[in-house]
Amino acid sequence: MASIYLYPVWVRLWHLINALLFLILIITGLSLQYSNEHFNLIRFDVAVSMHNIAGILLSVNYLVVFFGNMFTKNGMYYRMRRRWLVKEIPVQAKYYLFGIFRGEKAPFPINSRRKFNPLQKVSYFAVLYFLMPLIFITGWALIFPNVLFIDKIFGTSSLHFTDLVHIIVGFILSIFMFVHIYLCTIGKPRSAHFRAMLSGWHHSEH
Ligand code: HEM
């Protein structure tokens, strides 16, 4: 059995803090979204404060992964080529949809140069470099609405538009998180990826 050190301490710490804050944001976010005069999962003003503090901490924590990926070799695992996307993504998708249930071998097994399969790479990249910045920018703009320098956008108030984008991205990221956790259970044994994220070491059978 070969062992590869894939998750340095800073990645594990960033990820743990990120996951915990995400859970707080999802629960408080849902509470804010569905609260009315008859029902509050968490008291409205408490949910607002918790959501704001967790959001601010999440964006500060984001700097760790942003600069970590920029200045350490961890960034190499996120690099993609267009040719690669077109060819390899369908292969991985076919494996997730059919191959896995027929007991086939993973088409892109983990090694020291490849930590992520093509679908992981694309989704992690989109989450880290597109969806997370979008949720931070809209979140900060909602905390400080005076900085919204445009009054109206697409015929509606820019505050309303910012809120809409924030909520849509929040739902997409929540769905990502649950799909992400499910896909992390696809390992041998099922706990393999979770243990790797705790210890840093990935153990493979070849
Ligand atoms: C309770 C919640 C979560 C659990 C249990 C979890 C679990 C895991 C596990 C086991 C891995 C290692 C396997 C792999 O590399 O795919 C991983 C990696 C990763 N997760 Fe999560 N995750 C959670 C939440 C999140 C959230 C909310 C995000 C982002 C919004 C996220 C983003 C990532 C990224 C980017 C990696 C790869 C990090 C790297 O090695 O560079 N995770 N996660």
Rounded CA gap, 35 and 109, in Å?
45
> Residue 15 C-alpha to ligand 1 middle, in angstroms?
6
Distance CA 173, CA 170 (A): 5
Residue 118: asked if its preceding bond is cis (omega within 30°), the reply is: no
Q: Give the mean model confidence (pLDDT) for residues 43-54.
A: 97
Ligand 1 mutation target, pool 180, 188, 199, 201, most atoms within 8 A of CB: 180
With the most atoms of ligand 1 within 8 angstroms of its CB, the residue from 70, 190, 197 to mutate is 197
Instruction: Say yes or no to pLDDT of 190 above 80.
Output: yes
Measured CA to CA, the distance from residue 54 to residue 30 in angstroms comes to 14
Banded pLDDT at 22 (limits 50, 70, 90):
very high
Q: What is the reported pLDDT for 117?
A: 94
pLDDT in tens, 71-126: 999 999 999 988 888 899 999 999 999 999 999 999 999 999 999 999 999 999 99
Q: What is the mean pLDDT of residues 181-186?
A: 93
Instruction: Report d(CA 192, CA 186) in Å as an integer.
Output: 8
CB 11 within 8 A of CB 74: yes
On the question of pLDDT at 37 being above 70, the answer is yes
Nearest alpha-carbon partner for 12 in 202, 199, 204, 203: 199
Tokens 């703009």, residue located: 141
Q: With bands split at pLDDT 50, 70 and 90, how would you rate the model's confidence at 149?
A: low
Residue with CA nearest ligand 1 atom 10:
194
Point out the ligand 1 atom lying closest to the alpha carbon of residue 65: 41
Average model confidence (pLDDT) for the chain? Answer: 93
- Residue 161 Cα, ligand 1 centroid: separation in angstroms? 30
The reported pLDDT for the residue numbered 147 is: 74
Structure tokens at 125: 């990249």
Using the mean position of ligand 1's atoms as its centre, give its distance from the Cα of residue 180 in Å.
7
CA atoms within 13 A on the CB side of 109: 12
Does the pLDDT value for residue 200 go beyond 90?
yes
How far is ligand 1, taken at its centre, from the CA of residue 10, in Å? 13
3-state SS class at 153: strand
Contact in structure between 169 and 135 (CB atoms under 8 Å): yes
- pLDDT tens digits along 127-147: 999 999 999 999 999 999 887
Establish whether residue 95 lines the binding site of ligand 1, counting it when its CB lies within 6 angstroms of any ligand atom: no
Give the pLDDT of residue 2.
84
